[in-house]
Amino acid sequence: MNSDSRKTLISRLRRGPAVRQRLVDSHLAKGLAYQIRAMRERLGWTQSVLAEKLDTNQNAVYRLESPDYGKATLTTLKKVAAAMDVALVVRFVPFSELVDWVSGTPHLSNGLDYSALNVQPFDDEETDGIFDRSQVNIRQAVQPPPTLLDFPNPSNTRLQTQLNLAFNSATITEISTRPRLGTQRYQRREPAMIAPSGNGGELAQLTSLASGGR
């Protein structure tokens, strides 16, 4: 993006806690306003129609869609989500994730992993040097060890290349080995045994073919 490079955002964060909270406020207010407006227009609703569904008035919807407002309550947002039949995610994240989101940098989510619940404050991220790493290094740091792409059959390199193009290795591992909540993550498994059904099924078949049909 041309307006807010990662470097500029990180430099903003380093100006202090007040500036960091300002960034949070600004993107909360603007992000919500633009989302509500875009979703409403996608549905072909006027502000009055949405107001009726929220049991409020058109002026309240106008305020919700104003990037300067920023005072929507969680209750109101839940009502909006229900009216528009979309999900609503409210969660705390480390500033590095906000930087990735605002700058459009791909971010690998750790789901409900404990590290995602026990969010690192800014100073801890700074101490860990998170903001000094390149984007590639950040992704490598959160990437599980590759297992599924170690295809033993060299004749399958074309398929392996296609798979590599379609997904990065972390995504494949994430999808194929996603266990139930609370079980061990990223454990090494044989490709043919992985994900017999659900979202990972087709991928498991592909990886099985690639490894020589084991």
Taking CB under 8 A as the rule, which mask of x and - marks residues 29-68 in contact with another protein? Answer: -xx--x--xx--x------------------------xxx
The answer to whether the CB of 125 falls within 8 A of the CB of 152 is no
Q: d(Cα 177, Cα 208) in Å, to the nearest integer?
A: 14
Q: d(Cα 211, Cα 192) in Å, to the nearest integer?
A: 8
Locus of tokens 């409900």:
112
Smallest gap from residue 112 Cβ to another protein (A) = 24
Nearer to another protein, 26 or 110 (CB): 26
Locus of tokens 């002026």:
59
Region 61-100 residues binding another protein, contact defined as CB under 8 A: 66-68
Nearer to another protein, 5 or 187 (CB): 5
Nearer to another protein, 30 or 185 (CB): 30
How many other CB atoms sit within 10 Å of the CB of residue 20? 17
Please give the full DSSP string across 87-123, using - where no structure is assigned: --------HHHHHHHHHT------TT-HHHHSPPPHH
Looking at 82, 86, 88, 106, which residue binds another protein (CB under 8 A)?
106
Which of 159, 182, 154 is closest to 172 using CA atoms?
159
Smallest gap from residue 6 Cβ to another protein (A) = 9
Smallest gap from residue 182 Cβ to another protein (A) = 32
Smallest gap from residue 143 Cβ to another protein (A) = 17
Q: Is 171 in the site for another protein (CB under 8 A)?
A: no
Looking at 104, 146, 152, 196, which residue binds another protein (CB under 8 A)?
104
Nearer to another protein, 5 or 109 (CB): 5
Q: In this structure, which long-range contacts are made by residues 18-23, counting pairs with CB atoms below 8 Å and at least 24 apart in sequence?
A: 20/95, 20/122, 23/98, 23/102
Binding interface with another protein (CB under 8 A): 1-5, 7-8, 11-12, 15, 19, 22-23, 26-27, 30-31, 34, 37-38, 41, 66-68, 102, 104-106
